[in-house]
Amino acid sequence: MDSVVEIGSPDHTRQIRLVQVFTIVWMILEVVVSLFSAWRARSPALLAFGGDSIIEPASAVVVLWRFRSGSTSETKENRATRMAGALLFVLAVCVAVVSVVSLLGYGEPKPSVTGIVILLLAAVVMPLLAREKRKLSTVTGSAALRADAAESAVCAYLSVVALLGVGVNTLWHISWADPVAALVIVPFIIWEGREAIRGRACGCH
């Protein structure tokens, strides 16, 4: 029989649900705007960012499923953690493939004002979400929520890096800056995915 893992007070559970619902709504907005901007500008950095925005709601849904009650089995907690961590590896592959394809000359990125706006907003919103999720992860001891917080942090870092790449291309017309910016974040994504698979809920070593 599975052991039961406590996941904090009802207030903490409600807070987590609210944070995850907001995450899902915000990421849907990011998906629509960033992918549309990526299509118009042929930007791998924006496309990679949009790919992260697709994966993030899936991770948020995983955590919502895990927190549907006041406690859950250890098996379900571990499964949710592995799922959230695996999504980080999917993201790393997505970013690497799109960036390499662009560097090989398949499409030259163009400036995108709309893309810059959504990246700026994400650079503000996502760190706040990541911080709140990490705090709740520490309180509840949930590795699944820690993994989801890592994905929010990845989204924040990726938005800043993508913004640098798109900005350099816009100001100085250096087209390779866009895909290179997207590649910079890949090692961080892989590291966070490994930590999530190991089940570290609070960033402890």
Burial class (CB in 10 A: 0-12, 13-18, 19+), 131: middle
Distance (Å, rounded) from C-alpha 110 to C-alpha 63?
Answer: 37
pLDDT at 23 over 80: yes
State pLDDT tens for residues 104-157.
Answer: 876 677 878 888 899 999 999 999 999 999 999 888 888 778 888 888 887 888
State the burial class of residue 198 (Cβ atoms within 10 Å of its Cβ: 0-12, 13-18, 19+).
exposed
**Predicted confidence (pLDDT) at residue 69 exceeds the cutoff of 60:** no
Q: How far apart are CA 121 and CA 116, in angstroms?
A: 9
Q: Which residue has the higher pLDDT, 75 or 204?
A: 75
pLDDT of residue 129: 94
What pLDDT is recorded for position 130?
93
Q: Is residue 195's pLDDT more than 90?
A: no
How is residue 140 written in tokens?
A: 């509840």
CA distance 53 to 92: 13
Of the two residues 32 and 9, the one the predictor is more confident about is 32
CATH topology assigned to domain 4-104+112-195: Alpha-lytic protease prodomain-like (1.20.1510)
pLDDT over threshold 50, residue 205: no
Q: Nearest Cα to 135, choosing from 4, 19, 5?
A: 19
Query: Which range is least confidently modeled, 4-8, 27-31, 50-54?
Result: 4-8
Residue 169 has pLDDT above 60, yes or no: yes
pLDDT for 140: 84
* Phi–psi pair at 51, nearest 5 degrees: -65, -40
Mean pLDDT, the chain, rounded, equals: 80
pLDDT of residue 124: 94
Residue 169's alpha-carbon distances to 45, 162, 196, in angstroms, are 11, 11, 34
DSSP string across 22-87: HHHHHHHHHHHHHHHHHHHHT-HHHHHHHHHHHHHHHHHHHHHHHTSSSEEEHHHHHHHHHHHHHH
User: What average pLDDT does range 170-190 have in this prediction?
Assistant: 82
Query: pTM value?
Result: 0.75
- Among 26, 25, 24, 30, smallest CA distance to 59 is for 24
Cα(134)–Cα(149) distance, integer angstroms: 6
33-54 pLDDT tens trace: 999 998 888 888 888 788 777 7
User: CA–CA separation, 166 vs 153, rounded Å?
Assistant: 20
Q: What is the pLDDT of residue 8?
A: 58
pLDDT over 50 at 1, yes or no: no
Q: What pLDDT band is residue 101 in, cutting at 50, 70 and 90?
A: confident
